[in-house]
Structure 1
Amino acid sequence: MKEKGKEDADRKRHATESTIGVGEEVYAKKLDKVNKLSSPFYDVRASTFVNKNENDVEIENDDSGQRLRRNIFHLKSVERQWMVRVDIDDSVRTDEDVVSQ
């Protein structure tokens, strides 16, 4: 009975498992805001995802080597540039090249 309630609540909240894995680059949410206009979201410095235990994760700052523990909710994966195949001759263009044409 309890499991059915959990499944219903997860379905209503659109809860999903995290797709972030060990070794991926992530942005960490700032825990302190400078003022009300500053972005509460992510530092521009990327960190590397090191270890995971349930929702508790450990990340390492790429610049300083400092390790931090955060909840997985406070992380966002780094979006990389997409590569688009346009011809059969295996030439590869970036998405910026396709948009500029």
Structure 2
Amino acid sequence: MQDRTPDGPVRELLAAVLEALDIPHPATVGHQEAHDRILNDRVTHAKIALRSALDGGPLGVDWDTQYLRERLAEHPPTGYVTSDQAHTVLAEGKTWSEAVTLPTGEEGR
């Protein structure tokens, strides 16, 4: 059976696209807006990189991947409490309210 796992530049681009899309879910509906805004920004940049790669962009797939990774660094999944973060705080014995409250003066955890 033939291995169909992509490699090289295509694999790197696909990994960057997955990184763009696979951000943590928010712990509460109240954090959904921040999550959705960040995800939308990341999706937009993933679409630009994919479109360029599929259209044979003049700078190549490596450049498209680098472009995407730089844009993702500008739009990190912060500014909201994730489900995993909330569960970690709950496991420390804190209340739900404490678990889903962003620390004062911080963009996120």
Q: Greater relative contact order (Cα 8 A, min sep 6): structure 1 or 2?
A: 2
Larger Rg belongs to: 1
Q: TM-score, normalised by structure 1?
A: 0.30
Which of the pair is proportionally richer in helix? 2
Give the TM-score taking structure 2 as reference length. 0.28
Q: Which has the higher strand share?
A: 1
